[in-house]
């Protein structure tokens, strides 16, 4: 039987304040890279909730999503031959101040606020081409209502489907 293709689902936050975008600097198998606050959607989790969780874990800031910037499909091939396809849902919204009592997720070195030109100039350090693409889409005004994403209640049930 042929193996079914299953992309990795990720969620990302596109946060802009005062003309600067929130990024994280993180350790990856390819070295130190820049990324939007992002991560994998966990089982039993709605995409908006996953994004809120990831932002808190990676930046120590509470995130309030206000819209969907876009849905993206990308493929990444590591030097060791690993071939991964990502399905990314990118949300825009606001963050509160960092919680000083909360540490950043393992692998996250720091958070940064960068202008669009600084983000463009650092493209060689991005974890994925989607870092810049999502910011460019946000700059272009791409915003869709959160109601566009529906999570069926069965997602939250425990036990076998």
Question: Token pair of 112, please?
Answer: 């940064």
| All residues at 6 or more sequence positions from 122 whose CB lies less than 8 Å from its CB, including other chains | 34, 114
For residue 1, the number of C-alpha atoms closer than 13 Å in the C-beta half-sphere is 3
Is CATH 3.40.50.300 the right assignment for the domain spanning 8-154? Answer: no
Q: State residue 1's pLDDT score.
A: 64
3-state per-residue secondary structure call for the chain: CCCCCCCEEEEEEEEEECCEEEEEEEEECCEEEEECCEEECCCCCCHHHHHHHHHHHHHCCCEEEEEEEEEEEEEEECCCCCEEEEEEEEEEEEECCCCCCCCCCCCEEEEEEECHHHHHHCHHHECCCHHHHHHHHHHCCCCECHHHCCCCHHHHCCCCC
Q: Which residue has the higher pLDDT, 136 or 76?
A: 136
The per-residue pLDDT for range 5-30, each reduced to its tens digit, is: 889 999 999 999 999 999 999 999 88
Which range, of 17-21, 77-81, 83-87, 88-92, averages the lowest pLDDT? Answer: 77-81
Average per-residue pLDDT in the chain?
94
- 118 pLDDT above the threshold of 90: yes
Q: Measured between alpha carbons, how far is 105 from 103 in angstroms, rounded to an integer?
A: 7
The per-residue pLDDT for range 64-81, each reduced to its tens digit, is: 999 999 999 999 887 777
Domain residue ranges in the chain:
8-154
């Amino acid at each position: 039987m042929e193996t079914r293709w299953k992309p990795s689902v990720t969620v990302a936050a596109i946060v802009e304040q005062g003309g600067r975008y929130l990024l994280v600097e993180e350790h990856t198998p390819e070295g130190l890279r820049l990324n939007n606050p992002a991560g994998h959607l966990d089982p039993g989790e709605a995409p908006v909730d996953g994004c809120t969780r990831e932002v808190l874990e990676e930046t120590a800031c509470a995130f309030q999503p206000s819209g969907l910037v876009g849905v993206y499909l990308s493929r990444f091939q590591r030097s060791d031959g690993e071939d991964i396809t990502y399905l990314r849902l990118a949300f825009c919204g606001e963050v509160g101040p960092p919680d000083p009592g909360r540490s950043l997720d393992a692998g996250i070195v720091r958070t940064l606020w960068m202008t669009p030109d600084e983000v463009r100039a650092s493209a060689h350090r991005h974890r994925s081409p989607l870092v810049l693409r999502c910011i460019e889409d946000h700059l272009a005004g791409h915003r869709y209502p959160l109601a566009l994403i529906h999570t069926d209640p069965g997602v939250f049930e425990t036990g076998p489907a």
